[in-house]
């Protein structure tokens, strides 16, 4: 094992917080990780990591080394890329939510491939947050707050969960003026992991909860959109999913004053310091394009977009 590899392992151990997790993420055996840290400590003549039964943290010497190691690894990656061919090539694997991927990521991928003819891209559209390491993914587009502190996330936009109905439905059933009235309306909902079927309202989603008996449950956004357009009831969907319908007038936004806080749209990657050039290029390209889309920003309460 070379010394640069030892440095990379040391940084990974600190990033993931345990020897075992670093071994899993790096696809190395736990003994190999332990030997690398021991070799590094022997070379520096100081303990670099404090280990307890529950946690792992750098010593003062370890923290100083980690800071310099990250810079060194970043410079090494830059040097490798600077000597590589200028034309991007190779496979890039990305993931995004199904509806978002179809509507916004697929067009970006087509544009990116046209600009870089030697690149290959594999898209895995899934409404479940796939693990980047386990699935061998380079980059994810996710909606919602990032819970994995071991990943790097960059907010690119935000979307709002809004209530919508068709003009035909409202003409027959009237427009609700308060969330409590929704219990007596026909509703369309996504399938839930629990049996509790309710919508929560207010900035922190705990101001008001309304229990519902939905007329239609579907795990497919397109089916929910079709149901709303055909007058089957009121649905709660993300603003980007209904932006075209709101603009066309085929849907009406309801109870905007009671909506929860917007959700961030984020780019997520395993790391930034050693991000390959092809990933960094797509990361920057996607950030620029998505941040320019008006439908990927939270709507004002008075908006009819």
pLDDT tens by residue, 254-297: 999 999 999 999 999 987 666 888 999 999 999 999 999 888 87
Give dist(CA 131, CA 240) in Å, integer: 25
pLDDT at 139 over 70: yes
Q: Which of 25-29, 45-49, 110-114, 128-132 has the lowest mean pLDDT?
A: 25-29
Where does the pLDDT of residue 304 fall: very low under 50, low under 70, confident under 90, or very high at 90 and above? very low
What is residue 183's predicted lDDT score, i.e. its pLDDT?
A: 94
As a dihedral over the C-alpha atoms of residue 231, residue 234, residue 235, residue 241, rounded to 10 degrees, the angle is: 60
pLDDT at 185 over 90: yes
pTM of the entire predicted model = 0.69
* 21-30, 56-65, 201-210, range with greatest mean pLDDT: 56-65
Domains defined along the chain, listed by start: 3-83 (1.10.10.10), 90-158+263-296 (3.40.190.10), 161-258 (3.40.190.10)
Report residue 61: phi and psi, to 5°: -65, -40
What is residue 303's predicted lDDT score, i.e. its pLDDT?
A: 44
Report residue 130: phi and psi, to 5°: -75, 140
What is residue 237's predicted lDDT score, i.e. its pLDDT?
A: 96
Cβ-based neighbour number of residue 289 at 10 Å: 17
Mean of all residue pLDDT scores within the chain:
87
For the chain, helix, strand, coil in percent to 5 are 45, 20, 35
pLDDT at 145 over 70: yes
Instruction: Copy the structure tokens of residue 52.
Output: 């307890």
Contact 22, 9 (CB under 8 A): yes
Residue 126 DSSP symbol: -
Return the higher-pLDDT residue of 232 and 146. 232
Q: Which of 37-51, 64-78, 221-235 has the lowest mean pLDDT?
A: 64-78
Taking residues 111-115, report their average pLDDT.
Answer: 96
Give dist(CA 36, CA 101) in Å, integer: 40
Where does the pLDDT of residue 124 fall: very low under 50, low under 70, confident under 90, or very high at 90 and above? very high
What is residue 85's predicted lDDT score, i.e. its pLDDT?
A: 53
């Amino acid at each position: 094992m070379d010394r640069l590899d030892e440095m990379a392992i040391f940084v990974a151990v600190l990033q993931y917080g345990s020897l075992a997790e670093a071994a899993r993420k790096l696809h190395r055996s736990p003994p190999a990780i332990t030997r690398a840290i021991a070799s590094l400590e022997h070379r520096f003549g100081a303990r670099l990591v404090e280990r307890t039964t529950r946690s792992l943290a750098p010593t003062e010497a370890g923290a100083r080394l980690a800071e310099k190691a990250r810079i060194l690894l970043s410079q090494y990656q830059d040097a490798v890329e600077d000597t590589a061919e200028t034309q991007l090539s190779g496979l890039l694997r990305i993931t995004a939510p199904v509806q978002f991927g179809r509507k916004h990521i697929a067009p970006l991928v087509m544009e990116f491939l046209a600009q870089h003819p030697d690149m290959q891209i594999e898209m895995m559209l899934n409404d479940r947050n796939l693990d980047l390491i386990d699935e061998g993914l380079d980059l994810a587009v996710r909606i919602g707050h990032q819970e994995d502190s071991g990943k790097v996330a960059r907010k690119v936009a935000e979307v709002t969960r809004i209530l919508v109905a068709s003009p035909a439905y409202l003409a027959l059933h009237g427009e609700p003026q308060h969330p409590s009235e929704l219990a007596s309306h026909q509703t369309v909902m996504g399938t839930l992991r629990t049996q509790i079927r309710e919508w929560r309202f207010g900035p922190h989603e705990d101001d008001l909860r309304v229990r519902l008996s939905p007329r239609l449950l579907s795990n497919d956004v397109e089916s929910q959109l079709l149901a709303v357009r055909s007058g089957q009831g009121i649905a709660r969907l993300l603003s980007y999913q209904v932006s075209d319908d709101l603009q066309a007038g085929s849907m009406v936004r309801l109870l905007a004053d009671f909506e929860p806080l917007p959700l961030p749209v984020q780019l997520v990657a395993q790391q930034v310091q050693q991000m390959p050039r092809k990933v960094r290029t797509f990361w920057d390209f996607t950030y620029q394009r998505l941040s320019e889309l008006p439908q990927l920003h939270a709507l004002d309460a008075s908006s009819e977009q």
